[in-house]
Amino acid sequence: MTEPISDPFADRVSDPVVVGTDGSAGATRAVEWAAGHAVLQGLPLRVVHAVERLPYDGPRYPIPDSYDRLAPSGRQLLDHAERVARDRGPGLDVTTELAEGRPGRVLRDQAARASEVVLGSHGGGGFPGMLLGSVGNQVAGHVAVPVVVVRPEPPEAAAEIVAGFDCSEASGPALAYAFEEARLRGHRVRVVCAWEPPVPYGPVIGMDLDGMRRAAEDYARGELQPWRSRYADVKAELEMVRAHPVSALIEASSRAVLLVVGSHGRNAFTAAVLGSVSRAVLAHARCPVAVVRAR
């Protein structure tokens, strides 16, 4: 059974929310979201910009002062991001950090001292290729803390958080994050459980699809009940969808302020591929997405 996790992020209660910025519009949205979330949780905010050396600047053929030439523009980006964050959360404890290195590695290192990592949905400099490129996939599923990819909320978004649920133990941290977020925001949780009939490999006499759906729903409700009991103050709805999980979650994201999905992250290979569902959702969801790795 998927049992509720007591204080799943208790060991991170004093660590800051970390947000990466490259000065793009998407990064500015991420800074605003991260600042608002830090205020909501009562946590400090750390804004990070990665300065990566020029492609041909290596130990054997160094380019003199390449970092020093790039650093001033990075500091300007951080100054702007800090102003944006303070406007979003007056009184918020904001620090900035200019880090040297590849963006993905920088953010993975930052995650060791963070409660969560926040990124924009695309970038044009310090954190490029968020969705289809490398940075988001290099971070989500690789770190122990939640990774939030911010994009605009859909115009028809309701006051609800959608959580993907497959009834496995790996869903636990994602459900915990979704319920905690809903409690903080005063929102409801819509738990989406996708199911598909088995693919027959021989002669098919007949399938009781209604019976399959009822069985799947009964099982999902039983697995979800401990969470409803623990978070009795949060309104939660279970939605059974006969579809592939990716299709179900992307459709649900069109009416949510946040979509939460899990990532197994059992080993280096699993983390590297992130998982087909999480990867597809990151690429195509219509609202901010939080990827929460199983522990």
pLDDT (tens digit per residue) in 97-115: 999 888 888 999 999 999 9
Rounded Cα distance between 186 and 159, Å, is 8
Question: Do residues 259 and 253 touch, judged by C-beta distance below 8 A?
Answer: yes
Question: Do residues 92 and 43 touch, judged by C-beta distance below 8 A?
Answer: no
Rounded Cα distance between 175 and 192, Å, is 11
| Same fold: 10-150 with 160-293 | yes
Q: What is the pLDDT of residue 196?
A: 80
One CATH from 3.30.1540.10, 3.40.50.2300, 3.40.50.10310, 3.40.50.620 for 160-293: 3.40.50.620
3-state secondary structure of 116: strand
Show me where the domains of the chain are located.
10-150, 160-293
Is the pLDDT assigned to residue 252 strictly greater than 60? yes
Does domain 10-150 bear CATH number 3.40.50.620?
Answer: yes
Q: What is the pLDDT of residue 71?
A: 79
Q: What is the DSSP letter of 199?
A: P
Q: 278-289: per-residue pLDDT in tens?
A: 888 888 899 999
Q: Exposed, middle or buried by CB within 10 Å (0-12, 13-18, 19+), for 50?
A: buried
Q: Who contacts 280 (Cβ-Cβ below 8 Å, separation ≥6)?
A: 246, 250
Is the pLDDT assigned to residue 34 strictly greater than 70? yes
Alpha-helical segments (H) within the chain: 25-41, 66-88, 103-111, 135-139, 172-185, 209-230, 245-253, 268-273, 276-284
Number of other residues whose CB lies within 10 A of the CB of residue 108? 16
This model's pTM is above 0.75 = yes
